[in-house]
Amino acid sequence: MTDTPDFLRDGAGAPRFITVGDDGRAIAVRVTPGAATPEAPGVLWCGGFLSDMRGTKAEELAAWGARSGRQVVRFDYSGHGESAGDFERGTISRWAEEALAVFDRETTGPQIVVGSSMGGWIALLLARALAARGESARLVALVLIAPAPDFTEELMWKAMPEEVRAAILQDGRWVRPSQYGPGQPITRGLIEDGRRNLVLGAPFAVGCPVRILQGVADPDVPWQHALRLVTCLAEDDVVLTLIKDGDHRLSRPEDIERILAAVEEVG
């Protein structure tokens, strides 16, 4: 991991915004200019639940793009980071719609999509949306970091005590304590919309190589969850790398090196 270029440091420059959806959500986007060709595909970053594009992994990926002359596009979902919107109105469908809009309007040429945690689910939904439009050829590969597809159902709802489920159904929300900062509001809308976007129920294909990095010591997304995803991607070229002492963030220097190596290996 090397020094971050000045233009990527906190406070350097401002994002641009695109408007998404019928309600005109203002989505913040940052682009590292560079090539996006078959020989040097661009990269689209999809972050995690309650994370933002100024986090360590996203910044290091953008710095890599600056060093290597590769286009790197990153954005914040509505209600996250520098984007507008109320987080509690957020759903998987809305955030997937935003990712597709950024892909359509801000990227050019072939792309590698890098998805972290919830961003892994968003990346899979993006691949599905591109396939439905007959545009899978633009998707060179997926690099998924501690991917959490179906997390609202499999890792939240099914693990919640009955009284928490009752609170969500009756009150419409519940605030989950978080070791990473303020409590996380979990809404009934998020849970119910998540069920409309589940991907792990049956085998499916994304039509491109998939590289998965997963910490065995991850307290939020068990490594078995990543293995379940691998079994669903039966037709694709999939490599799962288990990092024995890796946590959920996978933001240590050695983790960043693994992520960048995975991106370089597929593109």
In Å, how far are 4, 71, 135, 267 from 236, measured between CA atoms? Answer: 34, 25, 17, 16
Cα 188 from chain centroid (whole Å): 22
8 Å CB contact between 141 and 112 = yes
117 is an active site residue: yes
Q: Please tell me which residue in 83, 236, 248, 255 is annotated as part of the active site.
A: 248
Q: Please tell me which residue in 218, 220, 236, 255 is annotated as part of the active site.
A: 218
Q: What is the pLDDT of residue 5?
A: 45
Q: SS in 3 state form for the chain?
A: CCCCCHHHCCCCCCCEEEEECCCCEEEEEEEECCECCCCCCEEEEECCCCCCCCCHHHHHHHHHHHHHCECEEEECCCCCCCCCCCHHHCCHHHHHHHHHHHHHHHCCCCEEEEEECHHHHHHHHHHHHHHHCCCHHHEEEEEEECCCCCHHHHHHHHHCCHHHHHHHHHHCEEEEEECCEEEEEEEHHHHHHHHCCCCCCCCCCCCCCEEEEEECCCCCCCHHHHHHHHHHCCCCCEEEEEECCCCCCCCCHHHHHHHHHHHHHHC
51 is an active site residue: no
Q: What is the pLDDT of residue 176?
A: 87
Please list the ranges in the chain whose pLDDT falls under 70.
1-12, 180
The residues, ordered by sequence, that sit 6+ positions from 164 with a Cβ below 8 Å of its Cβ are: 174
Q: What is the pLDDT of residue 178?
A: 78
104 is an active site residue: no
Q: What is the pLDDT of residue 13?
A: 76
Q: What is the pLDDT of residue 171?
A: 96
Mean per-residue pLDDT over the chain, rounded: 94
Furthest-apart CA pair in the chain: how many Å?
Answer: 54
Q: Please tell me which residue in 51, 117, 193, 236 is annotated as part of the active site.
A: 117
Superfamily of 13-266 according to CATH: Alpha/Beta hydrolase fold, catalytic domain (3.40.50.1820)
- Cβ count within 10 A of residue 113: 31
In Å, how far are 79, 162, 173 from 168, measured between CA atoms? Answer: 20, 10, 5
